[in-house]
Amino acid sequence: MPRVEESERGAAADLPPPGCCPQLHEAVELVGRRWTGAILEVLRQSARPLRFSEIAQAVPDLSDRLCSERMKELEQRGLVERRVHSGPPVRVTYALTPMGEALGPALTELKSWAQQWLAGRSVQVNPTGRRGPID
């Protein structure tokens, strides 16, 4: 174990303990929910608003039920706008709001990190629903 000098020990004791920014924690919890990041990325990549079925098809293994839950949550949080177009037939499209678009740089950085550090690692869902690397 490295030896710590008395002066260093005293200076460290004067520092407040590290803490988590509540807004960062909330943002990570929101974007990190299952499928949410993927849905946001699909909407971000699209040049036009997307229909529900287009979003569901663009995210592999995303069920309609979970897609519907996530879309409602993203709309409630102000990240996605749901627009009903009068018919016939009635169409519903989804697009990112300015708040959702502002996540673009963060999603780009997260994608770069994932490609650098997670590339080549296979991921599977185990029976508990938790994701983990395949051995």
pTM here is: 0.75
Mean pLDDT of 87-104: 95
Whether the pLDDT of residue 132 is over 80: the answer is no
**Contacts of the segment 95-99: beta carbons below 8 A, 24+ positions apart:** 95/43, 95/46, 95/48, 95/49, 95/50, 96/40, 96/43, 96/44
Tell me which residue has tokens 């519907």: 68
- Tokens encoding 1: 């174990």
Range of lowest pLDDT (9-13, 58-62, 81-85, 110-114): 9-13
Which domains are present in the chain? 23-108 (1.10.10.10)
Whether the pLDDT of residue 134 is over 50: the answer is no
- Tokens encoding 20: 């988590």
Whether the pLDDT of residue 7 is over 80: the answer is no
Distant-in-sequence, close-in-space partners of 99: CB < 8 Å, separation ≥ 6: 78, 79
Name the percent of the chain lying above pLDDT 90.
68
